[in-house]
Amino acid sequence: MFDIVIVGAGPAGGSAALFAAKAGKKTLLIDNDKSMTKRAWMENHYGIMEISGPDLIETGKKQAAKFGAELVEDQVINVKKTEQGLVVETAEKGSFEAKHVILATGAVVALAEEIGVKTKDGTEPRIKTVVDVDAQGKTNIEGIWAAGTCAGVSVHTIITAGDGAKVAINVISELNGERYVDHDVLKTN
Ligand SMILES: Cc1cc2nc3c(=O)[nH]c(=O)nc-3n(C[C@H](O)[C@H](O)[C@H](O)COP(=O)(O)OP(=O)(O)OC[C@H]3O[C@@H](n4cnc5c(N)ncnc54)[C@H](O)[C@@H]3O)c2cc1C
């Protein structure tokens, strides 16, 4: 049973996986390798002078893996409610049980629509439909959350990555029963 399964390893999902794994949560990141960010070149991501989309994604996945997140390359085809929580089904690599699922599927909401997650009209350029989430990132289905472009935030890496982190922190806080903060302190001699 994973604490958190994240669908989509773009900036939103990768960032969510990093926070979840670093918080000690059993984390799985599933991605079908169709990120729009793979075509991007960034000169507006705060703290980074310039970076290619593929490098940003690969670094993010490595950061998440460093803290124990498991990565699977596959298409998620279904997410079902069970008595214990949720089951995430993939096209080729089987099913995974989860307490919580974060959808971070970018411009694509096909999976959300397929599994009965409520959607609404998008507001950002070229993003027609997004998942209907509350301020926390919760959808209409208990245990299923959404983050990043698919949750309707502005389509920029700094924002989608931040939104993934925000939603992960909310899930971690719910699992812990108290608000969670992840602060490492600068070591001094
Ligand atoms: C050409 C281009 C240039 C850009 N330039 C900039 C820029 O200069 N600065 C900037 O800030 N932003 C830029 N962006 C935007 C940036 O890419 C997005 O803002 C942001 O990174 C999207 O992040 P995301 O995680 O929400 O989505 P994505 O990066 O698209 O990630 C979503 C992931 O979910 C996966 N997925 C979807 N459905 C499933 C499923 N059913 N099963 C498994 N996996 C699934 C996809 O394969 C994908 O990997 C650019 C975008 C493009 C296309």
Q: Which of 36, 144, 159, 160 to mutate to test the pocket of ligand 1 (most atoms within 8 A of CB)?
A: 36
* Domains of the chain with bracketed CATH: 2-176 (3.50.50.60)
Asked if the model's pLDDT at residue 189 lies above 90, the reply is no
Please tell me the distance from the alpha carbon of residue 99 to that of residue 123, in angstroms, as a whole number.
30
pLDDT higher at 84 or 13: 13
pLDDT per residue as tens digits for the range 42-74: 999 999 999 999 999 999 999 999 999 999 999
Q: How far is the CA of 186 from the centre of ligand 1 (A)?
A: 32
DSSP state of 43: S
Q: What residues does ligand 1 touch, defined as CB less than 6 Å away?
A: 7-13, 30-37, 39-42, 44, 53, 75-76, 104-106, 108, 111, 148-149, 155-158, 160
Q: How far is CA 183 from CA 23, 52, 63, 80, in A?
A: 11, 27, 16, 34
Q: How far is the CA of 69 from the centre of ligand 1 (A)?
A: 20
